[in-house]
A and B are shown apart, each in its own frame.
Chain A
């Protein structure tokens, strides 16, 4: 048995890096310090056994070479290919993905398109006053979760970084801190809160506006009830914000994907700016996948733009709504798609999935998921962070390196994309002749 310490967890945007893992006979046998979901991922479960190509409606196992060749043929022959996913793989794979997109004039996009894409649009409008998670741990005496439920989605977030964490200026941990939760229902996180604000579904924008008005000194314009929240509650939260020497709003998909979308986030950032006129205030999106942030980073430094980048013109064209995956699919523009490290089959709107199921789809993933049901080429890969190493970015932009814990016969995402890229280049150069 070998004990490996300081293991970096490849599950959610928390990217906990203090996990202890025991390995025996090239298998992870014990995991300490991870949340239940992270532990399950590190321990390993149901894998796609072999590369496969769909023949007469059924997936037929084949070699890596055959699957890669088939994938390259599909992509090289496509007029409007989409390369989507990337949020549960390492930056090294994404870099090759951008190369591939340039090579075949594809649209490259990640899962932000259907989760925190609206947050990106908001940041492009007003910016983002934020900080690293260690700042929150050491200084934040007020923590607000808005439309986010970390007890379910980010298991260690409160313990490692926020409400429960002990910090330099807050040695008592939660004794020294206040927790406010704003949500449409009383979640498990809400039950822990010093103050729970239950907002009517779709009314977050109104409550944010009221809070902003109060923080700018205009409480007289706020009615007695805003989106199901009483004026007293709004005044109370505003006061808590003003009085905290350092505060933060963590927001989740409860605000990015409900009515108002990016407008909610613009408003939430404006609330942060308003609070900043009184004290130190920050705001941070609760990014889901462990490297959804990393894709946006790599895509930005390589193409200039964070997601939904169309390279069909030879230069990068960014126009979410036009170049974002679900919109492309709803318009039935794409004639082929490569889906990596994600599951649009489960998460995209029905109209998009309908078109996706009709075009050739290449899936690269360690695990089967609903997308596998209609994929035409399935290429299983190593689990990054367990069987392959690489670079990832935590939700606060901190870069960490995933470790390799055990050996595998599976190719890594990086190796598969590299092989497809080489095969595509070979096809193209033959065509050129």
Chain B
């Protein structure tokens, strides 16, 4: 049976195809965008805003760390309780929602793809088991590859080709999407309760975080990888860290990407844009970061913008979570993963009455407003670290309304006036720019635009969001409301949300990358890898790779070796 859908009278924002608020019909057949349809079901968008399905580049939605967050915060679980319906399973949680709530809530916001950005390779099966249980959303996960002993050894010996062979193997073994970096070297040091700055030597391994970032960026570009390395650098959350951030960006400046994309994606950059020397003289350095991004093409960023209120922070950056727990004295979970990575979790409350939090809040917005080209920026809250994804509509309304920012600033700590420049920025985003930072830029940066995501050109996936708002609307409250509950969300040509309610729950697909490495290099790498398994891992080599059973709806992207 041919299933056809026609969306009429929508005002379409499709930045990848240069469509800037045009009244335009969208035709879908068998789940894909087509030129025309013959006998479609018709949706009358009635002059409302129409965009491709949202693509989130970075949100912690699945895996061991997320689940430890849920497990140790029943008080958060109770915040989002919603009974099952004939169609939907029960929801729970606010900052750490259960898997079903993750799917339903994103879909209600018009999103159809989310990247889980921190998969510990040894626990990759867990991440995939949760991804399978998230309804509707297509998804992918980035394995952590920067503190792995194999990586450290090859960076130390300077064997970038062998490092490439290793990252190819581990991305395949974990059914992952690319290279994730989190506090390179620092997380390994944390196994001894220590941390590393960019040029410190990692204990026992005799390499520096700078070497690791550079080595991984070079190795990543050995393949036709859809995404650059995805970097959470050193010294996250420390006053004065913006200099480390800029130095990190400089490390990879000379590296040529395989295609027209950055070589480094800097994630939740808000947490890396801090001035001052202590929390007392803490200030925004968003301007310095934005200036760099404006002047260079090799770096993209996502915001990690703060959403005020209580949340659950979680990261593979173990030492950072320990510092945070020492500040708050709240409960703290830590889970170091042998030969690979670590993680920490602690609850946190962002308050607009606290100076530091207010500055953090301002920085996320400043980064978006001071960076001229929205194609370099993605909207994120590093869910749930700077706040839960359900707060995105608040961020969108802030970016689109100077008035709303001013009203908020009046209510907040006075540090916003003397430690940030947010109040002096007049820029307001329009719907086209919002479409860029929530779907077009993210799809392109992840290389997903070549696989049907983030745009509405012929051949793309039939993923469409229709928001209940006219393109002329400037009222922040109405904007927020519209982006929280889409009029329609269409996923693969199927209506999944209507009038803000979930009406069908198809299974999502998992996208993964298969880097293709020279067999000789793989063989050489494998000798060392097998030694690691024989002597140091606590699981056997044969039981390590993620079995096909864990990815029931696969979408494979091959990444050939660049000759």
Residues of A within 8 A of B (CB): 5-6, 8, 17-18, 91, 95, 102, 120, 123-135, 137-139, 160-161, 166-169, 245-246, 273, 276, 279-280, 282, 296-298, 300-306, 311, 313-318, 391, 393, 397-401
In B327-365, the 8 Å CB interface with A consists of: 331-339, 342, 345-346
Bound CA span A249–B92, Å: 33
Task: Select one of A5, A120, A296, A400 contacting B539, CB under 8 A.
Answer: A400
Asked whether A318 lies within 8 Å of B331 as measured between CB atoms, the reply is no
Whether the Cβ atoms of B126 and A102 lie closer than 8 Å is no
With A129-B333, A305-B92 known as contacts, the answer to whether A398 contacts B539 (CB < 8 A) is yes
Bound-complex Cα distance A86 to B77 (A): 22
Q: Which of B129, B346, B547 contacts A127 (CB 8 A)?
A: B346
Verify if B111 is at the interface (C-beta below 8 Å from A): no
A302 contacts B98, CB within 8 Å? yes
What is the total number of residues of chain B having a CB less than 8 Å from a CB of chain A? 65
A304 to B130 Cα, complex, angstroms? 12
Contact stretch, chosen from B21-29, B82-90, B391-399: B82-90
List 16 A–B pairs whose Cβ atoms lie within 8 Å, in order of A's numbering: A18-B540, A123-B71, A127-B72, A129-B334, A134-B338, A166-B535, A246-B191, A301-B129, A302-B100, A305-B74, A311-B90, A315-B91, A391-B550, A398-B539, A399-B126, A400-B543
For the complex with contacts A132-B335, A315-B92, 20 further pairs of A-B residues with Cβ separation under 8 Å are A6-B541, A18-B540, A127-B325, A127-B345, A133-B338, A134-B538, A135-B338, A246-B191, A246-B192, A276-B322, A280-B192, A298-B129, A300-B70, A300-B71, A316-B98, A318-B77, A391-B550, A393-B126, A397-B123, A399-B123
Contact A17/B100 with A246-B191, A301-B67 known, Cβ cut-off 8 Å: no
Once the chains bind, are A314 and B83 in contact (CB under 8 Å)?
Answer: yes
| Chain B contacts for A167, CB-based, 8 A | 536
Known: A6-B542, A17-B539, A300-B70. A132 touches B338 (CB 8 A): yes
A-side contacts of B81, CB under 8 Å:
315-317
A263 CB to closest chain B CB, in angstroms? 15
- Find out whether the CB atom of B72 lies under 8 angstroms from the CB atom of A124: yes
- Which residues of B pack against A, CB within 8 Å? 62, 64, 66-68, 70-74, 77-78, 80-84, 89-93, 96-100, 122-123, 125-126, 129-130, 133, 149, 191-193, 204, 322, 325, 331-339, 342, 345-346, 535-543, 547, 549-550
In the complex the two chains form, is A401's CB within 8 Å of B70's CB? no
Within the complex, which residue of A129, A132, A137 is in contact with B332, where a contact is CB–CB below 8 Å? A129
A160 to B540 CA separation, bound complex (whole angstroms): 12
Task: Verify B543–A138 contact, CB threshold 8 A.
Answer: no
Report chain A residues within 8 Å CB of B70.
Answer: 300-301, 304-305
Neighbouring A residues of B133 by C-beta, 8 Å = 95, 301-302
Contact partners of B550 in chain A: CB under 8 A: 391
Choice from A135, A398, A401 contacting B123 with Cβ under 8 Å: A398
With A246-B191, A301-B130, A398-B539 as given contacts, are A134 and B98 in contact (CB-CB < 8 Å)? no
Complexed CA–CA distance, A301 and B126 (Å): 10
Across-interface contacts of A317 in B (CB, < 8 A) = 81
Take A302-B133, A314-B83, A316-B90 as given contacts and tell me if A134 and B536 are in contact as well, using a CB distance cutoff of 8 Å.
yes
**Closest CB of chain A to B149's CB: distance in Å?**
8
Q: How far is the CB of B76 from chain A (nearest CB, A)?
A: 8
Residue of A nearest to B127 (CB): A399
Whether the pair B64, A397 counts as a contact (CB closer than 8 A) is yes
When C-beta atoms are compared, the residue in chain B nearest to A168 turns out to be: B536
Q: Once the chains are docked, how many angstroms separate the CA of A376 from the CA of B80? A: 38
CA distance A314 to B91 in the complex (A): 10
Q: Which B residues lie within 8 Å of A245 (CB)? A: 192
Contact of A102 with B90 at beta-carbon distance under 8 Å, contacts A137-B338, A400-B539 already known: yes
- Interface contact B99-A302, CB-CB below 8 Å: yes
Which A residues touch B82, using CB under 8 A? Answer: 315
Q: Is the CB–CB distance between B333 and A401 below 8 Å?
A: no
Taking the closest CB of chain B, its distance from the CB of A381, in whole angstroms, is 19
Q: Please, which residues of chain A bring their CB within 8 A of the CB of B536? A: 134, 137-138, 167-168
Of B73, B100, B192, B540, the contact of A6 (CB 8 Å cutoff): B540
B100 nearest CB across to chain A (Å): 7
Q: In the complex, A304 Cα to B73 Cα: how many Å?
A: 9
**CB-based contact B549/A316 at 8 Å:** no
Q: How far is the CA of A133 from the CA of B537 in the complex (A)?
A: 9
Given A137-B338, A398-B538, A123 and B333 touching (CB < 8 A)? Answer: yes
Q: Which residues from chain A contact B191 at a C-beta distance below 8 Å?
A: 131, 135, 139, 246, 280
Q: Give the residue name and chain of the A residue nearest to B96 (CB).
A: A304
State whether B126 touches A397 (Cβ < 8 A): yes
3 A-B pairs with the lowest CB-CB distances in the bound complex, closest first:
A134-B338, A304-B92, A314-B83
Bound Cα distance from A367 to B100, whole angstroms: 35
Inside 8 A of A315's CB, which chain B residues have their CB?
A: 81-84, 90-92
> In the bound complex, what is the Cα–Cα distance between A140 and B73 (angstroms)?
29
Chain B residues within 8 Å of A139, by CB: 191-192
The docked-state distance in angstroms from the alpha carbon of A222 to that of B96 is 41
Residue of B nearest to A299 (CB): B71
Q: Taking the nearest CB of chain B, how far is it from the CB of A409, in angstroms?
A: 23
Which residues on A sit within 8 Å (CB–CB) of B90? 102, 303, 311, 314-316
Taking A6-B543, A305-B92, A399-B129 as contacts, is the C-beta distance between A131 and B335 under 8 angstroms?
Answer: yes
Residue of B nearest to A98 (CB): B89
Q: What's the minimum C-beta distance from B114 to chain A, rounded to whole angstroms?
A: 15
Q: How far is the CB of A309 from chain B (nearest CB, A)?
A: 10
Task: Give the CA-CA distance A102 to B84 in the complex, in Å.
Answer: 8
Which A residues are in CB contact (< 8 Å) with B64?
A: 397
Per the bound structure, the CA–CA distance linking A120 and B62 in Å amounts to: 20
Task: Give A245 Cβ to nearest chain B Cβ, in Å.
Answer: 6
Quick one: which of B100, B335, B543 contacts A8, CB cutoff 8 A? B543
Residue of B nearest to A311 (CB): B90
Please give the distance in Å from B146's CB to the nearest CB on chain A: 17
Q: Given A131-B336, A135-B336, A398-B539, do A306 and B71 touch, yes or no (CB 8 Å)?
A: yes
Across the interface, which residues of A come within 8 angstroms of B122, CB to CB? Answer: 132, 134, 398
Given contacts A127-B331, A280-B192, contact A17 B72 (CB under 8 A): no
B62 → chain A closest CB, angstroms: 8
Residue with the greatest number of chain A CB neighbours at <10 A, chosen from B68, B93, B334: B334
Residues A401 and B547 in contact, CB atoms below 8 Å apart? yes
CA of A5 to CA of B542, assembled, Å: 9
A61 and B273 alpha carbons, distance in the complex (Å): 71
A306: chain B residues at CB < 8 Å are 71
Given the interface pairs A6-B540, A315-B91, the reply to whether A300 lies near B67 with Cβ below 8 Å is yes
Distance in angstroms between the alpha carbons of A285 and B96 in the assembled complex: 24
B501 to chain A, nearest CB (A): 16
> Which residues of chain B are near A128, meaning CB under 8 Å?
68, 72, 333-335
* B287 nearest CB across to chain A (Å): 37
Q: Which residues of A contact B68 (CB under 8 A)?
A: 128, 397
Collect the chain B residues with CB atoms within 8 Å of residue A91's CB.
Answer: 129
* Chain A positions within 8 Å of B92 at CB level: 303-305, 315-316
| B538 partner residues in chain A, CB cutoff 8 A | 132-134, 137, 160-161, 398
CB neighbours (8 Å) of B338 from chain A are 131-135, 137-138
User: How many whole Å from B188's CB to the nearest CB in chain A?
Assistant: 11
CB neighbours of A304 from chain B (8 A): 70, 74, 77, 80, 92-93, 96-98
Chain B residue at minimal CB-CB distance from A18 = B540
